[in-house]
Amino acid sequence: MHNTETAFDVLIIGTGAAGLSLALRLPAHLRIGVLSKGPLAESSSLYAQGGVAAVLDEQDSVEAHIEDTLVAGAGLTAPDTARFVAERAAAAIHWLQRQQVPFSTEADARTLHLTREGGHSHRRIVHAADATGRAIEITLEERVRQCPHVTVLEHHVAVDLITSERLGQAGRRCLGAYVLDKEQGRVRALAARNVVLASGGASKVYLYTSNPDGSTGDGIAMAWRAGCRVANMEFNQFHPTCLYHPQAKSFLISEAVRGEGGKLRLPDGSTFMERFDHRAELAPRDIVARAIDHEMKRLGADCLYLDISHQPHDFILEHFPTIYRRCLEYGYDMTREPVPVVPAAHYTCGGVLTDLHGRTDISGLYAVGEVSYTGLHGANRLASNSLLECLVFAAAAAEDIAARASEPAPPEQVPPWDESRVSDSDEAVVVSHNWDELRRLMWDYVGIVRTDKRLERAKRRVDMLRREIHEYYGHFRVSADLIELRNLALVADLIIRSAQARKESRGLHYTLDYPNSLPETRPTVLVPPAPRPFSNLGDGESPAPATKR
């Protein structure tokens, strides 16, 4: 593979299920660049345990999958999008099978084993034991590395999108991206006919998260600065059951554990979910997370417990080998005792507004996967619809890009990054301090349960942090930590503004000031100010490449 390319037909930013499957679905005559912040397979997809939702059982139906998605979305899921995805789910699974993804099967070794998760009315979750994301990601990585037309750029962090509008040219077209080569410590300008944001979500904006360190909202922030609308940023899904242990960092206990009979228990051993929802442990995640949060605050407890020890030993080891081994590492034997759990930020339901082809507001710019807002998830994501969304919209975007390949291309030259007026920082503590303060205030004030007063406090602090970060960014050379902090601070602002705009409780957004849902609702769509040329330092969003480009 080439590693000296600076111009591509398609530049894909992000290497989870969305980015890698897109690269594999594009025609082989296109020059494709794939950008990864770390090793190629490092992404949120790698850690996805549950599976991929698809109707493959004769007793199930596409209509039932659509209905379950609409119910979970609490009135904000776009019906057309739900149908678009559900109807293409089986084909996405068959494509993964052709890529040799090792899914779990029944005893005949041919029929896919289907499990059930919260919010689903049928068994329709295709999985690879309890490490589905890893199975998909590793398989797709192997396939991508075999493609001679794909240039893999590992350890590269996208800084900003290059658009005609921000260069003072006519039209609104994406021309490429500035990216930081972490190993060489320099910023490169990569030209591209098409740029695809597949950079994942923004759960790292919270102190406790099930996501890897790279989930810093980069694509959402870059798209906003470039002039794209974002939607539904107030809906942050908190996974109800992250392992509670100081060394466990971000290990979640799959929803499938509850799907296979796991019970949530209070410290005294009693169950409680039946008091919050008739579906008990099989209720959607927002209800379960809020119930756990309520009980923890009511009791002053540090954690609650998830118990599947009543199931046979061999059943647990067969269905949850990864979870069993990891819990055992921290001293918990899930075959014999309950496991301590707490909620953690898990999934960003909002994102960059797209159509059913993954197209954004800017020509030549696509967004696929968790970075995007397609209308599928509404106010709450249905379990195992996330990997499915990645696969379906990667295919849709690849089809659209291929169909447009013969259109006139923009010039394959973009201005180089200019850092002639910046210096190396001698105050890295500013970045680390602001990083910590931002994540703590988001957890305390913009978490599972919100109030107007908490949101106002959060907005004031984030405004102050963004001014500090903006000043710092304008004077010093960029680093990976600074890029991510800048993006996280912007995304935090978008989340708070979206939450303030929603005067009701719905799905994942719950506020004590407006505990009921309104009879009519619509998505929260934020419209960015017109992007200013890179030469203008005063826009508060995009410090100029004339100073740092």
Active site residues: 285
Contact yes or no for 530/499 (Cβ under 8 A): no
Contact yes or no for 150/36 (Cβ under 8 A): no
Distance CA 137, CA 45 (A): 7
Beta 230-231 vs 525-526: how paired, if at all?
Answer: antiparallel
Neighbours of 446 (CB within 10 A): 23
Between vectors from CA 521 to CA 518 and to CA 523, what angle results, nearest 5°?
A: 140
Distance CA 534, CA 399 (A): 32
What are the angstrom distances between the C-alpha of 63 and each of 54, 113, 332, 376, 459? 12, 21, 41, 15, 41
How many CA atoms does the CB half-sphere of 337 hold within 13 Å? 11
Q: Name the CA radius of gyration of the chain, rounded.
A: 22
Decide: residue 489, CB within 10 A, 0-12 exposed, 13-18 middle, 19+ buried: buried
Label residues 256-281 b or e (16+ Cβ within 10 Å = b): bbbbbebbbbbeeeeebbeebbeebb
What are the angstrom distances between the C-alpha of 236 and each of 203, 206, 275, 379, 381? 8, 10, 24, 9, 9
Stated as kind and residue range, the H or E segment containing 542 is none
Distance CA 542, CA 453 (A): 29
Instruction: Please report where in the chains the tokens 């021309």 appear, as a residue.
Output: 175
3-state secondary structure of 367: strand
Contact yes or no for 132/387 (Cβ under 8 A): yes
User: End-to-end distance of the chain based on CA atoms, in angstroms?
Assistant: 28
What distance lies between CA 83 and its chain's CA centroid?
21
